[in-house]
Amino acid sequence: MDTQHSSPVAMPLPAVRIRPSADADVAAIAAIYGHHVLHGTASFETEPPGEEEMRRRWADVLARGLPYLVAEDGDGTVLGYAYASAYRPRAAYRNTVEDSVYVRHDIVGRGVGRLLLAGLIARCEALGLRQMVAVVGDSANLASVRLHEAFGFRLIGRLSAVGRKHGRWLDSVLLQRTLGEGDRTDPAEGG
């Protein structure tokens, strides 16, 4: 965010709706992510994946029965997206997911990320998932860390200098949040 040219208080957006993503959203999702890959440090990818690769990733999330949401304005323009993915591929991790939230760069700080993360948490809890992990790229990404903390994520740790992008070393910040009953009860059979 360019703080020299931004107003100190960003106005919230009117009429933002959170809904399940659709195939027609993938181009906008790819554009949003592509901007963050090229200009930011939230993702450690250095080349933006094309629309077909993003469609493959999107379909993989949905094939696993996990939520993939978009935020849209009153005109149907996609403002951001969020999804849950498998935290790790081994069966013992099946009740734990990792979240990803990306908002169009020109509306960051206007509440869209909060709406997306709230919707994602609610849908993951409805699925009976028990833990959500956030892996925040770049320890200087305080907006993402604070967003997660506002939703009950606890700081678990920091992996120092594990990525290099834009000519500098980057940390990963690990946060975790219990979903539903967490580890207080056993998941349903097969869960």
CATH of the domain at 58: 3.40.630.30
With beta carbons less than 8 A apart as the criterion, state whether 41 and 145 touch. Answer: no
With beta carbons less than 8 A apart as the criterion, state whether 73 and 103 touch. Answer: no
Which pLDDT score is estimated for 14? Answer: 74
- Does the residue 6 lie in any domain? no
Model confidence pLDDT, tens digit, residues 165-184? 999 999 999 999 999 999 99
Query: Among positive and negative, which fits the CA dihedral 16, 21, 23, 25?
Result: positive
Rounded to an integer, the average pLDDT of 126-138 is: 96
* Res 2 pLDDT > 60: no
Q: In the Cβ-directed half-sphere of 117, how many Cα atoms lie within 13 Å?
A: 24
Residue 48 in 3-state DSSP?
A: coil
Which pLDDT score is estimated for 158? Answer: 97
- Does the residue 29 lie in any domain? yes
- In percent, the amount of the chain with pLDDT more than 70 equals 91
Q: What is the DSSP letter of 73?
A: -
- In percent, the amount of the chain with pLDDT more than 90 equals 88
In the structure, what pLDDT confidence band is assigned to residue 187 with cuts at 50, 70 and 90? confident
Domain range enclosing 91: 17-178
The closest alpha carbon to 33, from 88, 62, 70, belongs to 70
- Does the residue 36 lie in any domain? yes
Rounded to an integer, the average pLDDT of 41-69 is: 97
Residue 119 in 3-state DSSP?
A: helix
Which pLDDT score is estimated for 114? Answer: 97
- Does the residue 130 lie in any domain? yes
More reliable by pLDDT, 1 or 169: 169
Kind and range of the H or E run holding 69: strand 68-72
With beta carbons less than 8 A apart as the criterion, state whether 174 and 133 touch. Answer: yes
Which pLDDT score is estimated for 171? Answer: 96
* Res 13 pLDDT > 90: no
* Res 131 pLDDT > 80: yes
Model confidence pLDDT, tens digit, residues 17-30? 999 999 999 999 99
Domain count, the chain: 1
As a whole number, the mean pLDDT across the chain is 92
- Does the residue 70 lie in any domain? yes
- Does the residue 47 lie in any domain? yes
More reliable by pLDDT, 43 or 9: 43
Residues facing 29 on adjacent strands:
none
Single pTM value for the model: 0.91
* Res 59 pLDDT > 60: yes
- Does the residue 113 lie in any domain? yes
More reliable by pLDDT, 10 or 181: 181
